Amino acid sequence: MLFGDIETALATVTNTRSRLAKIEALAALLRGLDPEEIEPAVGLLTAAPRQGRLGVGWRTLSARAGDHADTSNLTISDIDDAFSELTGIGGAGSAAVRTRLLDDLAGRATATEWHLLVRIMTGELRTGALEGVLLDAVARAAERDAAQVRRAAMLSGDLGGTTRIALTGTPEDLAAVGLVVGRGLQPMLASPATSVAEAMAVTGRASVEYKLDGARVQVHRHGDKVRVFTRTLADITHRVPEIVEVALSLPVHDVILDGETLSLDEDGGPRPFQDTMARFGAETAREIALRPWFFDLIHLDGRDLVDEPLATRLDELERVAGEHRIPAVLTDEVDVADAFARDALAAGHEGVMVKGLDDPYTAGRRGKSWLKVKPVHTFDLVVLGVEYGSGRRSGWLSNLHLGARDPRGLFGEPGSFVMVGKTFKGLTDDLLQWQTAHFAERQIGEVTGGIYVAPDTVVEIAIDGVQRSVRYPGGVALRFARVKTYRSDKTAAEADTIDTLRALLPGGGEAATEG
């Protein structure tokens, strides 16, 4: 299939607000794919090449805006092969090899195809082809049950592979997709709550757990083989030998554990989040040690537990990894939970998680029964642009333009981002130096006094609240925003939504549905 067919389908998806029309356009495309094209095509549709990070930035790609083909003759397989070559380049002379490869790819693409390829390679694709729409399109194209397709994608953590099975396999093949020890699956996510009492009004009797300012880890063990994944399913096994050692000490053969890890200081208190992430970025173990705390168990010795209630999963977790469980209390009394939350804060942690005991593990989704309670509002937002600083910050990229995710397309294309404020507060000199280099590589345009950047960098922002705004299209602006930390462990698809921010306004439940 020609890449131009993907370009046409994505244009249809972008230009219509009808979900049914989006689904049909994508389903028609999927029906025309050869089996070997399915997984590469899904990677192109979602701006997530199956090869992973390609190691090329916007500046490198934008330099190839010259001669292009007059007619479309570039195939999906051509692009997939080029992406595979890109990820395999290394050693002496690699820059020249990369340049020749990109020049050839750009020359074979039409001008509009190259523009689309640049957006795919930089993760700056805003088409409204969200995963949920694509999954419905897969079900339509394959004539399979949509719920079964979603479940297979959830359990496998592999949208491309699920699509291939749905389109080329039998219904039984799709139904047989389950958890595989050693293959990461999307983690269950939490929603915010303003207080323990508000959270327990939703959950009833709950497991109230420390909310650590650490990094999410998913630990798989099969016999004497261990794999450790981040929340984005990056394999970091070789970087965390102490977590591997803990996993091997457990009295199990097969297990999948969900948890959090962070580094501790000399007094046993939590180090800053940046220290933990520094270890994740190290190829070899450093002097900063990581300790895992587990809060869920979703597979045990041949038994999938995703459909079991949390109470059952916690019983098994206690039996298997009791000494490595995250501090928690089971209670239906708000006073007890509040006291536990105060203990968590006194120990230097962010707050607490309040989890209902009756619900299953909803991988890849924001479960209504998992609620995070922090003493201040913190949100994961996406950097849309950065302005240069002045005075002591002259020459550094300083003032961040912050955006919230707009999944329903209330203020633009579905899946795009709507600006909600700016901040230059909370930035250390080290962060200023880092973000100046980082965002220079992510530049996709210019704004007054700064640059637009690819919307793929997540930053955790603390705020005192929000207020109504006529300046920003989402109708909401942040109050007293300051940078808490960058979240390299999160993708832009996990950023908080404009609905969540608008819900903080007076009458926010109604405000969140306006537009």
User: Known catalytic residues?
Assistant: 211
- Nearest one of 247, 236, 335, 246 to 276, comparing CA atoms: 236
- Nearest one of 376, 358, 380, 378 to 367, comparing CA atoms: 358
In angstroms, the Cα distances linking 484 to 214, 350, 397 are: 13, 12, 17
Q: Say if residue 219 is exposed, middle or buried (CB neighbours under 10 Å; 0-12, 13-18, 19+).
A: buried
Q: Which helix (H) or strand (E) holds 366?
A: strand 366-373
Three-class secondary structure of residue 50 per DSSP: coil
Neighbours of 214 (CB within 10 A): 25
Token digits for 164?
A: 């291939």
Alpha carbon distance 336, 360 (integer Å) = 25
Report the side by side order of strands in the sheet with 215-222: 225-229, 215-222, 254-263, 290-300, 303-304
Token digits for 268?
A: 């046993």
List residues bridging with 329 in a β-sheet.
208
DSSP, res 187: P
Q: What is the 3-state secondary structure (H, E, C) of 195-264?
A: CHHHHHHHHCCEEEEEECCCEEEEEEEECCEEEEECCCCCECHHHCHHHHHHHHHCCCCEEEEEEEEEEE
Alpha carbon distance 353, 336 (integer Å) = 14
Length of the chain: 515
Alpha carbon distance 368, 58 (integer Å) = 38
Q: Which helix (H) or strand (E) holds 478?
A: strand 476-479
Catalogue the long-range contacts made by 6-15 (C-beta closer than 8 Å, 24 or more residues apart). Answer: 6/41, 6/44, 6/45, 6/76, 6/116, 7/72, 7/112, 7/113, 7/116, 9/45, 10/45, 10/116, 10/125, 10/127, 10/129, 13/127, 13/128, 13/129, 13/133, 14/126, 14/127, 14/128, 14/413
Kindly provide the b/e burial profile for residues 311-327, where b requires at least 16 CB atoms within 10 angstroms of the residue's own CB: eebbebbeebbeebbbb
